[in-house]
Every structure is written in structure tokens, then in C-alpha cells.
Amino acid sequence: MRIPTFQDVQAAGQRIAPVVRRTPVLRIPGTHVLLKREDLQKSGSFKLRGVTNAFVAAAPTRVVTASSGNHGKALAMLARARRIPATVVMTAQSAPEKVERIRELGARVRFVEGGVAERNRLAEALAVEQGATLVPSSDHADVIAGQGTTGLEIAAQAPETEAVYVPVGGGGLLAGMCLAKEAWAGRVRDGMAPAPAVIGVEPVSAPRYALSLATGRPVTVPPSASVADGLRGQSPGCVALPIVAAGSDRLMAVEDDEILRAMSLLLGCGVVAEPSSAAAVAAALRAEHTRDVVVVLTGGNISRARFDKLLADEARTRDPLPALAVG
């Protein structure tokens, strides 16, 4: 098992530059929250970074992955560009619009009953059966290094940020961000500013990284039904966990109603964000920072019909709650 380093993140930045988009950092008006707009990435999410780095490193001729959607879409895009076969394993509860888009890109979709653990096991078995390269959605050295390039850009775009908030699914982006903290090393040495805190955000129903760090050992949680479908991981990654243990500063948990209210707030700013992205926004707004912080808005791959239904259902069922603070 290879554990990536900051130097791997730097190398990934050079490898993927011809393919990925350098996304902007934009402020939520009236707040100290800045959004790293990975929803504007070519694949609609940050996942293109890790997939691209893994493809360049491995030069695969056939690929298999397990995904809740965004990683599968990025992998299908690159597989189609390289004209190689791709199989994406998804749970039966996956968002229909994500399944459809992956199929439109030419990848084969296989479904599995159960949760993320069952999904990952089937992908591993299929890779062996097909003689294919397995490209995990998060727990892989090259994938983590690729995701970490998000942090390199934040260091250049918002160098004085107090914290970086990261939604935690498989943990690859959080691990990559922990490695990327070294990009602030020069400023720290010169006494200009400390490196930002790296804060991971999980659903209340899937706190596998928080529990694992608290107990000092990997903890597996039951399948989650969180509205944040990309954050339903059941176990921490073997590659990601030691990086997160060494480099993260805090883990936070958010409820589904907080996520949906953050989605509504973002819509008021003209941003249609999927629930997994909005989870980190909810956590950052709850913290009421007095200095600027950056939230990685990880993706926007949600149909407008599903987006509107989620917000309408939440509005009908919730008890009156105070609005998220934005001033």
C-alpha cells in the first residue's frame, strides 16, 4: 500500500493541468464563506482530478470502478476519450440522473443490493474477472494526489483562508487536502499566516472517519440513507485514514435538514449544488467564522427536478427553524 505525499500532489498538478479546469473561488454574499467551485469542473465535480491522475499514471486499457455517481461519470468521460471499456458499479439507490449520464458516456453500469461496502467488493471482483484496472473513487494514492490539487489552487487563490471545509465521502479529497496544507509552508515560515485548518464534514448517519479517529482504529458504520448520496461511505479508506489522522484538524457532522437549507441558500446565490456539496457549506455557516474560510463545493451533478423535489419535500415536513446565519 503506497501512501502519497505532498510531492505526489505537486506532480499530479502538472500531470492533470492539460485536462482539468482551474475552478474559481467565489464568495457567498454577506458571509466569510468562499466557495471553491468544483461544480464548474468539466465533469461537474472534483472527481475528474483524481481519475485523470490515475489514468495518466496507469495508462489502463480497461477500467472498473465503484461510484455513487460523480467518480463514475469522470471515469466514463476519460474512458470514452481514450476509447477503452469502462464498468461502473453502483448501488440500487443511486441517483437515476447520474446512472443515465454514465450510460450516455458509454460505460456499462452494474447494480448491487446493499451499501457502499457491497458495491466496492463487486467492483474489485469484476476488475479481477475482466483483467481491468480498478480505479477506486477515493482510496488510492494517485486518486488522492489528484484530489489534492484542489488544495494547491486554494493556496494560490485564497492564501489567507482560516480553514478549508471538505465533504467526506470515501475520504480521498480530505486526505488530499491534508497533504496540500504543505503548500502554505512558505507563508508559515515567513510568519505571514498559519496554514488553514482542514475540516472534514460527514453526515450524522455516516461518521466513519470521526469514529475511527476517536477510537484509533478503522470503524465501519451501517449503510446510510443520508440525502447526501456521495457521503454514504461505510468505512474509512486504508490509504486515506493515516493521512487524515495526521493532517486533519476537525471532523464535523451535519443533519439532512441543515444540508437542504444550505442548498436553498446556495440557490439564492444562483448555485444549484448537490447535497454532498452543500453539507460542507452547512458546517461552515454553522461555525460563524469572523475570517474567511473556503468550502470545496464538490459537485453540481443533480437534475433540477430532483433538486426542486428535495427542497419542496423538506419545506413541507420541517418544523419552523431559524435560517442559517449569513450576516
How does DSSP assign 171-199, residue by residue?
A: SHHHHHHHHHGGGGHHHHHTTS-PPPEEE
Mean pLDDT of 237-260: 97
Q: Give the CA count within 13 Å in the CB-facing half-sphere of 312.
A: 6
The arithmetic mean of pLDDT across residues 6-15, rounded, is 98
Question: Which pLDDT tens digit goes with each residue over 69-89?
Answer: 999 999 999 999 999 999 999
Nearest residue to 172 (alpha-carbon basis) of 151, 134, 143: 143
142: helix, strand or coil: helix
- In contact, 64 and 324? CB cutoff 8 Å: no
The per-residue pLDDT for range 118-158, each reduced to its tens digit, is 999 999 999 999 999 999 999 999 999 999 999 999 999 99
Q: Residue 325: pLDDT above 90? A: no
Contact call for residues 283 and 265 (beta carbons, < 8 A): no
Alpha helical stretches, state H, 105-140: 116-130
Predicted confidence (pLDDT) per residue in 108-122, tens digit: 999 999 888 899 999
Other beta carbons within 10 angstroms of residue 225's beta carbon come to: 13
pLDDT classification of 222: cutoffs 50, 70, 90: very high
- Average pLDDT taken over every residue of the chain: 94
Is the predicted pLDDT of residue 65 greater than 60, yes or no? yes
Q: What does the alpha-carbon distance between residue 28 and residue 54 come to, in Å, rounded to a whole number?
A: 33
Confidence at residue 323, expressed as pLDDT on a 0 to 100 scale:
46
Q: Tell me what pLDDT residue 318 has.
A: 65
Cα(18)–Cα(37) distance, integer angstroms: 19
C-alpha–C-alpha distance, residues 76 and 52, integer Å: 11
pLDDT at res. 277: 96
pTM of the predicted model as reported, rounded to 2 decimal places:
0.93
What is the dihedral sign for C-alpha 289, 27, 49, 153?
Answer: negative
Evaluate if residue 326 carries a pLDDT over 60: no
Please say if the pLDDT value at position 265 is more than 50: yes
> Which residue in the block uniquely carries the three cell numbers 464498468?
87
Q: What is the pLDDT of residue 93?
A: 87
Q: Count the Cβ atoms, other than its own, within 10 Å of residue 59.
A: 9
Domains and CATH numbers, the chain: 6-45+140-317 (3.40.50.1100), 47-134 (3.40.50.1100)
Taking only the tens place, the pLDDT of each residue in 14-59 is: 999 999 999 999 999 999 999 999 999 999 999 999 999 999 999 9
Residues 6 or more apart whose Cβ sits within 8 Å of residue 255: 203, 204
Predicted pLDDT at 232:
92
Q: Could you give the CA distance from residue 209 to residue 200 in angstroms, rounded to a whole number?
A: 9
- pLDDT of 324 strictly over 50: no
Residue closest to 86 by CA, chosen among 12, 67, 2, 42: 67
Amino acid sitting at position 189: R
Query: Which pLDDT does position 57 carry in this prediction?
Result: 95
pLDDT of residue 1: 84
Order of strands, edge to edge, in the sheet holding 133-134?
Answer: 108-112, 86-91, 63-66, 133-134
Cα separation, 137 vs 71, whole angstroms? 6
Residue of 116 and 65 predicted with greater confidence: 65
Residue 319 pLDDT: 56
> Does the pLDDT of residue 262 top 90, yes or no?
yes
